[in-house]
Amino acid sequence: MTFDSAQNDPAMITVSGIHKTLRGQEVLKGIDLQVGHGETLAIIGRSGGGKSVLMKHMVGLMKPDRGQVCIDGREITGLQERQLGPVRRKVGILFQDGALFDSMTVEENVAFPLREQGMRDRKVMRQRVEEALEHVSLSGQGHKMPVELSGGMRKRASLARVLASQPECILYDEPTSGLDPVVSDSINHLIREFQSKFGVTSIVVTHDMTSAYFVANRIAFLRAGSIYLTGTPETFRRATDPVVCDFIEGRSRGMDWMNPTA
């Protein structure tokens, strides 16, 4: 399995001055962020801080009120839905719940995006599916239904579906959520492996600092709709700012945890 990764532009994804208001609340307040080719960026922050909204903007699932998003050097905010298709194929998304189709086998789930892209060569499709399942240690499991899989296996099957499309960038939405520590560690190792083996750019939205420290080259702390701090994992380990330390160490400071802007 080989992934194409044209690197004419040093950034895979660039977010410039993004503002977004939902139901009267300003969720994103002028976000500026770059993710380089082959980099793994972890986006951390409290619930309600805008992480998922930012992620949806990065792949064109939401449009900003103001600002721009570029994927591999192409500005996407002004594109129509039909124009977004070829650009979106560069970016795969691992959803938090896996989003597998319960009525399809694992193999059919993994092949689904290939069919949607118009692939008709059954031999090539089967090869892509088998390779993707092998990369996530699910060889021989393609005949099973999602209901027959454990939580960790479902997550890996979902990741195989992303890999089958051979994206240049993968967005992970809480990839270790709901998994035990051992399975979480296996997912973290897969994220690292895909970066090193295929040069895939990765954006990991997570509350799990163990995961963020392990997979990321760089971490961005999103707080109340703004980037509060970016830096290497070591930057965050050495942080003395009480806001950053409270998040990393899970301190609520009384009832402040109920207010995401606190």
Q: Are residues 214 and 192 in contact, defined by beta-carbon separation less than 8 angstroms?
A: yes
CATH code given to domain 9-90+169-249: 3.40.50.300
Q: Are residues 157 and 109 in contact, defined by beta-carbon separation less than 8 angstroms?
A: yes
Beta-ladder partners of 238: none
pLDDT tens by residue, 245-254: 999 988 776 5
Closest CA to 132 of 161, 103, 108, 104: 161
pLDDT tens by residue, 188-231: 999 999 888 889 999 999 989 999 999 999 999 999 999 999 99
Q: Are residues 215 and 187 in contact, defined by beta-carbon separation less than 8 angstroms?
A: no
Q: Are residues 51 and 45 in contact, defined by beta-carbon separation less than 8 angstroms?
A: yes
pLDDT at 12: 94
C-alpha distances out from residue 212 to 76, 163, 193, Å = 28, 21, 15
pLDDT surpasses 70 at 58: yes
Q: Rounded to 5 degrees, what are φ and ψ at 128?
A: -60, -45
Question: Can you give the residue ranges of every domain in the chain?
Answer: 9-90+169-249, 99-166
Whole-structure pTM value? 0.87
255 pLDDT tier (thresholds 50, 70, 90): very low
2 pLDDT tier (thresholds 50, 70, 90): low
At CA 191, angle to CA 203 and CA 184, rounded to 5?
A: 105
Mean pLDDT in residue range 109-114: 92
Q: Are residues 10 and 35 in contact, defined by beta-carbon separation less than 8 angstroms?
A: no
Length of the chain: 262
Q: Are residues 202 and 170 in contact, defined by beta-carbon separation less than 8 angstroms?
A: yes
d(CA 66, CA 140): 48
DSSP string, 119-137: ---HHHHHHHHHHHHHHTT
Token pair for residue 66?
């103001």
